[in-house]
Amino acid sequence: MTQHSIDTSPHVSDEVRKTTCYMCACRCGINVHLRDGKIRYIEGNRDHPVNQGVLCAKGSAGIMQHYAPSRLSTPMKRVGPRGAGEFEPISWEEALQTATDWLQPIRETDPAKLAFFTGRDQSQGLTGWWAQMFGTHNFAAHGGFCSVNMAAAGIYTMGGAFWEFGSPDWERTKLFMIFGVAEDHDSNPIKMGLSRLKEREAKIIAVNPVRTGYNAIADEWVPVTPGTDGLFVLALIHELMAAGKIDIDYLIRYTNAPWLVIKNPGGADDGLFARDKDGKALVWNRKTGKPTAYDKAGITPHMSGEITLPSGQTAVPAFQLMMDKYLDSKYAPEAVAQTTGISAEQIKQIAAQLAHVAFEEEITIDTPWTDWKGEKHDKMIGRPVSFHAMRGISAHSNGFQTCRAIHLLQILLGSVECPGGFRFKPTYPKPSTAHPKPGRGQGPGKTLSGPPLGYIQGPEDLLVDADGTPQRIDKAYSWDAPFSAHGMMHMVISNAYAGDPYPVDVLFMYMANMSWNSSMNSRGVMEMLEAKNDDGNYVIPKIIYSDAYDSEMVAYADLILPDTTYLERHDCISLLDRPICEPDTVADSIRWPVMEPDRDVRGFQSVLLDIGARLGLPGMVADDGSPKFADYADYIVNHERKPGIGPLAGFRGEDGTQSGRGAPNPEQLNKYIENGSFWSEELPEDARFFKHANQAYQDWAVKLGFYDAPQPVTFQLWLEPLAKFQLAAAGHGEHQPPDHLRSRIADHFDPLPDWYAPFEGEALEDGAYPLHAITQRPAAMYHSWGSQNAWLRQIHTTNPLYVPGPVCDEVGLVDDDWAYLRSHHGEIKVQIRRMEAVNSRTVWTWNAIGKRKGAWGLSKNAPETEKGFLLNHLIHELLPGSGEGLRWSNSDPITGQAAWYDLKVSIRKAEEGAGTSEPNFDAQKSTVTPGDSQLRYGQEW
Amino acid sequence: MTMLPPEPTKKLGLVIDLDICVGCHACAVNCKEWNTGGYGNALSDQDAYGSEPSGAWLNRIHSFEAVPMDAQGTPQPSDARIVHFPKSCLHCDDAPCVTVCPTGASYKRAEDGIVLVNEDHCIGCGLCAWSCAYGAREMDRASGVMKKCTLCVDRIYNENLPVEDREPACVKSCPANARHFGDLADPSSDVSVMVASRGGFDLMPEQGNKPVNKYLPPRTKTSRCASQTRDDEVPDLVSLAQNNQSTGILGWLDRTLDAIS
């Protein structure tokens, strides 16, 4: 019989257009194959520094996102009550003029009456600048409810963070610890990196209450109890310190461990650094016995003891304070075992392994380099231990301190920025002092004094009135959350509704599903958005919303500005925002319209510039008052933050040959497109490690324009800005916290990494809510976007609650039973599944699968609405015990990070009943046309 | 009944590493994306935005919890873990899906061992799916023909693709490098070497289908450092205070600083 003959070389595509993915926050390079004007195939770009050719499930499902029936198609204005989803199409001219008419009077009278919050925005370089030009400090993206604890702890401690700003040295590390990571940022690079570790048989230790995903393939699993990672890490530090397994030479060279801290209990300078007349911190020279400036080359300082300074002050090296704290027996493995759920034996064993690999398996690279003091080194010494941490660490009210504790552990081992350790990605590291401070409002019709978000150094930098009243609507940079470097988006609607600290006039949001999965207390938020004053007007008077899809939040807006899909737009992934660099590579990238929109939609950033021009905002209009930029693409090329520095660093200068600095190049976007939509440049060989202290790196960074003068970083183990807040809490200084916050600041702002029990559990009656409840992001979904995707929703159609075996046995639950899950705030009904590979007191589910009926172009009986659910209904934005005028945000007291994972619950069996999860809300009216029931995508080929 | 060809001298197939698969579904979705516009009919989806969404896929990831037993057969829940198990056609040497096919639509290619369906001849009777021990075949409900992994036969030889891209979509896309493609009949190929060194195994060998695809087992979760030092060889940390030779941490600090200066 003759074998069937087939064409093994069929035509693939007419054209390949290269752009940047936006199916999650990873920002991989993609090749979009077009055939007959449609998308034939999307694959990873092999040349791209982020993903090197691979592509995740989300990225591979881009076709279904681009063609999703849930896409909005025209500007709309609300005609029914808020929340119902009743709209009328309007023209872009009417939409833009309406927005302008709402915003113009605010800018002329009180710019702070605009709250502009931008969700999962990848254009904060533009959006933050727009807010600054408008003059409102009420701006942030979603970092405050995502992972500001990671960013702030990293930047204040060592000038850079885990997140996507650094990476383990995947090629050299021999022991890798990963804390609290499911599918967060950097998803493809982490998978690629884990695979490199496996190839080299490096050991992976996973610290996570749930043994899924990355944790399932780790060599060792540490089933930590949520919110206790910090205590576990401090026990490791206790063990290492007690055994003398720390890198003293590294601490002297690169950290403030030798800096002298003033010891003056009760005094106004207690806990501050002793400084010379130029303000330089002092160390205690071991040879001369005298204090001397920390940056003097070639000295060995004392690391212990107590000195009386010429000024008469008593001071001790910070390291002495570290020994005093961490050698205390309360951090002994036996003392923390019960709280952390980790045996003393496992803690000791991990400490021994860390010490062994760091100090007995040292690696070296024979590249000479020179440090910032001018001292020459003939090689780079590596301690091949590395760490990564993410959401499970950050989403707790003790997350900032916990993340600092992990950084302290890394630094004690000498493993930051060395071969085999944790490596920064340019433009990091950069000390917190080199970042701007948050801009201040300057009055009607005026811009802010600087960018709205920044890094404060003490109480004097807070955005508060003389009486301590917060100036920002979310109370960021107030005594409630002084170091809230990403704002506090989760508090905006709640505060605006309560008029605390004041009401707003316009709430303007982008890509932020606040009436559903992006808020705590979703039902409460829906009611706040619907609430009216006695005069019949909404409490939050006007809501403008931009989204590409018919999300739950659409139903609550008064004016809809429909955005494009990620394949129809310009974007720039800028060094001025969150760059896509790798440790050896500086890089940025663009998106461009590889498909033309077939609907009446516009890219949000172009719309924002249009509104800015209509408002006459500085920088957005030419001298004659006409719009300065035709659209976002024009801005990307021609906007300069300062001369020679613009949104994109590649192909600058008139001939396109300059990098970093250079005049705008009219051909810049074409150059990017020709190059695969990214630009990258390798770091010089001798600049690749010890970047915080490496002269060659610092010089290169100045050349590229990251900053104008070298910014070496001394790692801040003792964090003086925290000490300043403790002094204020004790009554010192002219800037004083309100009395109700004094003890909270005194107790939690320890200048050394510390652990305290998460707030929600502490505020509850003992035993009433005995279980922890958390979520994980599934690898095949990115928050709420996944469910509208015909392929991805087949993978995660519903989300069971995973319940530990022992709890199932206690409560009498078996697979597919229904159960009530109760918190101090509410109760939900969910379907359960038994699981053993989870911390025995922790229940969990996948994040953001549950949907409101009518949203996302899904049918009203979609499983996501019938059986899917959110834990959000159990989480309040305020802590138990709020009341009598006090509103304690459910957040980290230092950074304001939303404490999603502090949630405590009880569980009991429920009757099946209707077999649907509860609460179940009325449907919102869909604003889009339902899609075809049957898809045969690509049948014609 | 359809005949199998003589044993092919080239056996193209996949090697799937269960030690590194994190269950992310990248391979499954990229497969769907390539193949819905590729070989044969589209991979259709039904009730795409409704109450019972389903569709034809050539590759699916099964995630399940494994609870190991001790020597006495007692489950050890404290050692439970999630296993991610990607599953697609294994291109068996003795493929019952071929021999059971009444029309000759299912066939195994003589030149490389790939099992394919000639969709023009497929009558959608489903016998092949019943005969497959692995559940690797799926009916496309729109076209009424049987779909299965083609090993991206329209990629691996495709002269319209750059040479480095001539591999199955699942292999190219896998972020964890858990999937490998090659000739398993050639003992010197990368995939054969990998199978030999890592203890690669046949899925359900007792079925006698002689699958070409192989799986690499998860490595034992011993606590092993890169230097091959076993945990029990990593000495416990001895506190300086317990060390009779030392004068506690301050003495250690002094000696360390002396050595630095």
Please tell me the distance from the alpha carbon of residue B234 to that of residue A438, in angstroms, as a whole number: 49
Q: pLDDT grade, residue A11 (50/70/90)?
A: very high
Residue B2 placed within a domain? no
Domains of chain A and any CATH numbers: 17-63+570-686 (2.20.25.90), 76-143+434-562 (3.40.50.740), 766-910 (2.40.40.20)
Domain that holds residue B81: 12-216
Interface with B, mutate which of A284, A375, A791 (most B CBs under 10 A)? A791
- In chain A, what is the straight-line distance between the N-terminal and C-terminal CA atoms, in Å? 28
Residue B180 placed within a domain? yes
Which residues of chain B lie closer than 8 angstroms to A355, CB-CB?
237
Task: Tell me: do B181 and B251 sit in the same domain.
Answer: no
Q: pLDDT grade, residue A129 (50/70/90)?
A: very high
Q: Which residues contact A243 (CB under 8 A, 6 or more apart)?
A: A351, A355, B237, B238, B239, B240
pLDDT greater than 60 at residue B227: no
Residue in A closest to B238 by C-alpha: A243
Of A427-436, A484-493, B227-236, minimum mean pLDDT range: B227-236
Amino acid A367: pLDDT: 97
State residue A369 phi and psi, 5-degree precision. -150, 165
Of B23, B107, B218, nearest to A4 by CB-CB distance is B107
Task: Tell me: do B41 and B98 sit in the same domain.
Answer: yes
pLDDT greater than 80 at residue B1: no
Instruction: Kindly state the average pLDDT of the residues A816-829.
Output: 98
Residue B172 placed within a domain? yes
pLDDT in tens, A320-371: 999 999 999 999 999 999 999 999 999 999 999 999 999 999 999 999 999 9
Amino acid B70: pLDDT: 87
| Burial zone of A469 (CB within 10 Å; 0-12 exposed, 13-18 middle, 19+ buried) | middle
Of A1, A12, A941, nearest to B104 by CB-CB distance is A1
Residue in A closest to B218 by C-alpha: A217
| Burial zone of A885 (CB within 10 Å; 0-12 exposed, 13-18 middle, 19+ buried) | exposed
Amino acid B229: pLDDT: 40
Nearest-CA distance B65 → chain A (Å): 7
pLDDT in tens, A60-118: 999 999 999 999 999 999 999 999 999 999 999 999 999 999 999 999 999 999 999 99
Please tell me the distance from the alpha carbon of residue A921 to that of residue A691, in angstroms, as a whole number: 53
Task: Tell me: do B19 and B108 sit in the same domain.
Answer: yes
pLDDT greater than 50 at residue B225: no
pLDDT greater than 60 at residue B224: no
Identify which of A797, A906, A793, A901 has the alpha carbon closest to the alpha carbon of residue A182: A901
Which residues of chain A lie closer than 8 angstroms to B40, CB-CB?
none
Neighbouring C-alpha atoms within 13 Å toward the C-beta of B112? 16
Residue B224 placed within a domain? no
Please tell me the distance from the alpha carbon of residue A690 to that of residue A380, in angstroms, as a whole number: 8
Task: Tell me: do B80 and B109 sit in the same domain.
Answer: yes
Task: Tell me: do B242 and B205 sit in the same domain.
Answer: no
B194 touches chain A (CB under 8 A): no
Task: Tell me: do B183 and B59 sit in the same domain.
Answer: yes
pLDDT greater than 50 at residue B230: no
The DSSP secondary structure of A642-677, one letter per residue, reads BTTB-S--SSBSTTS-B-SS----TTHHHHHHHTTS
Nearest-CA distance A716 → chain B (Å): 20
Task: Tell me: do B152 and B192 sit in the same domain.
Answer: yes
3-state SS string for A151-166: HHHHHHHHCCCCCCCE
Identify whether the C-beta of residue A435 lies closer than 8 Å to the C-beta of residue A455. Answer: yes
Please tell me the distance from the alpha carbon of residue B53 to that of residue A865, in angstroms, as a whole number: 13
Neighbouring C-alpha atoms within 13 Å toward the C-beta of B148? 28
Task: Tell me: do B29 and B107 sit in the same domain.
Answer: yes
pLDDT in tens, A783-810: 889 999 999 999 999 999 999 999 999 9
Identify whether the C-beta of residue A906 lies closer than 8 Å to the C-beta of residue A822. Answer: yes
B109 touches chain A (CB under 8 A): yes
Instruction: Kindly state the average pLDDT of the residues B219-237.
Output: 59
Please tell me the distance from the alpha carbon of residue A236 to that of residue A232, in angstroms, as a whole number: 6
Instruction: Calculate the average pLDDT of chain B.
Output: 93
Instruction: Calculate the average pLDDT of chain A.
Output: 96
The answer to whether the Cβ–Cβ distance between B30 and A55 falls below 8 Å is yes
Nearest-CA distance A307 → chain B (Å): 16
The answer to whether the Cβ–Cβ distance between A794 and B83 falls below 8 Å is no
Nearest-CA distance A580 → chain B (Å): 17
Amino acid A31: pLDDT: 98
Task: Tell me: do B179 and B94 sit in the same domain.
Answer: yes
Amino acid B231: pLDDT: 57
Instruction: Kindly state the average pLDDT of the residues A277-286.
Output: 97
Q: Which residue has the higher pLDDT, A400 or A3?
A: A400
Instruction: Kindly state the average pLDDT of the residues A539-566.
Output: 98
Residue B225 placed within a domain? no
Nearest-CA distance A279 → chain B (Å): 26
Identify whether the C-beta of residue A538 lies closer than 8 Å to the C-beta of residue A527. Answer: no
Residue B226 placed within a domain? no
Residue B3 placed within a domain? no
Of A793, A857, A941, nearest to B37 by CB-CB distance is A941
Amino acid A1: pLDDT: 58
Which residues of chain B lie closer than 8 angstroms to A932, CB-CB?
48
Percent of chain A with pLDDT strictly greater than 70: 100
Task: Tell me: do B51 and B163 sit in the same domain.
Answer: yes
Q: Is the entire prediction scored with pTM above 0.80?
A: yes
ipTM for the predicted complex comes to: 0.97
Number of folded domains that form chain B:
2
pLDDT in tens, A594-647: 999 999 999 999 999 999 999 999 999 999 999 999 999 999 999 999 999 999
Q: Give the H/E segment covering residue A311.
A: none
Q: pLDDT grade, residue B228 (50/70/90)?
A: very low
Q: pLDDT grade, residue B79 (50/70/90)?
A: confident
pLDDT greater than 60 at residue B223: no
Nearest-CA distance B180 → chain A (Å): 13
Residue B256 placed within a domain? yes
Amino acid A146: pLDDT: 87
Identify whether the C-beta of residue A404 lies closer than 8 Å to the C-beta of residue A892. Answer: no
CATH number for the domain that contains residue B86: 3.30.70.20
Nearest-CA distance B21 → chain A (Å): 7
Instruction: Kindly state the average pLDDT of the residues A229-233.
Output: 98
- For chain B positions 238-257, those within 8 Å of chain A (CB to CB) are 238-241, 246, 249-250, 252-253, 256-257
Task: Tell me: do B178 and B236 sit in the same domain.
Answer: no
Q: Which residues contact B64 (CB under 8 A, 6 or more apart)?
A: B82, B83, B85
Task: Tell me: do B136 and B249 sit in the same domain.
Answer: no
The answer to whether the Cβ–Cβ distance between B235 and A857 falls below 8 Å is no
- For chain B positions 47-86, those within 8 Å of chain A (CB to CB) are 47-55, 57, 63, 65, 67, 77-78, 80-84
Please tell me the distance from the alpha carbon of residue A921 to that of residue A851, in angstroms, as a whole number: 10
Instruction: Kindly state the average pLDDT of the residues A277-290.
Output: 97
Percent of chain B with pLDDT strictly greater than 90: 82
Amino acid B226: pLDDT: 35
Of A797-801, A868-872, B65-69, minimum mean pLDDT range: B65-69
- In chain B, what is the straight-line distance between the N-terminal and C-terminal CA atoms, in Å? 85
Of B51, B229, B252, nearest to A861 by CB-CB distance is B51
Q: pLDDT grade, residue B81 (50/70/90)?
A: confident
